[in-house]
Structure 1
């Protein structure tokens, strides 16, 4: 059912620095830009787009929204987290690690991008 995800940004240069670093940590490539200036990331059959809002209003992070990316290992999750912090993201919640819950043991790491969007990487243990 999933086709793509899109987040808004108020500063595409900062967003590109952040997302290029985090997607490259997952084995992806840096963004391509379309004719509207949107940043497009394609990796593992998914598409992730960063754009200034079409309505011309400021981009805001969704309250209660989290965008999750699957990773192959805890080491890849840590590399993603480290790359994101180094590229202007903010570490949030608990440090990267295993959390036990109703879905079993999950290795999770969380960041906010430079525009405040909440992101997570997940490895099922």
Structure 2
């Protein structure tokens, strides 16, 4: 459905520390920096990147936007959430847990990264 996700950051080193810990909880390797200074993560067929805004303006989060990451189960979602909070993220919404939706149960964990981007760890609970 998508080729990649990129978020802006006002402090790439801080963001790399945060996302390295977050993605380690998913079994991914630490991010690598390209020749333009962007930090890239490749895992499970997906590409996630962090960059300083190319227009020179401060980075800001999208109001109403959420970036969802697929989890293998509630334990991984909890580890992901914990890693985020321990590395500069902020727990938001309800505590991690099952939410009932018209599509069935979802185990969800929400964070804001150090730049305010809204993230969700999501696991679809088997019917």
TM-score (structure 2 length as normaliser): 0.97
**Runs of at least 5 residues in structure 2 that lack an aligned partner in the other structure:** none
Specify the alignment match of 1:22 in structure 2: 22
Pairs aligned (count): 125
* 1:77-96 to 2 correspondences below 5 Å: 77-96=77-96
Cα RMSD between the aligned structures?
0.5
Instruction: Give how far 1:18 is off.
Output: 0.4
- 1:73 matched to 2:73: yes
TM-score by length of 1: 0.99
The equivalent of 1:123 in structure 2 is 123
2:17 and 2:91 map into 1 onto residues whose CA distance is 16
Distance in 2 between the 1:16 and 1:61 partners?
A: 17
Tell me the residue number matched to 1:54.
54
Q: Which residue of 1 aligns with 2:107?
A: 107
Secondary structure of 2:22's aligned partner = helix
- 1:2 Cα deviation from its structure 2 partner: 1.3
Say which SS state the counterpart of residue 68 (structure 2) adopts. Answer: strand
* Residues 10-32 of structure 1, C-alpha deviations (whole Å, 9 max, x = no match): 00111011000000001101000
* Distance of 2:42 and 2:103 partners within structure 1: 28
Moved segments of 4+, more than 4 Å: none
Query: 1:119 offset after TM fit, Å?
Result: 0.1
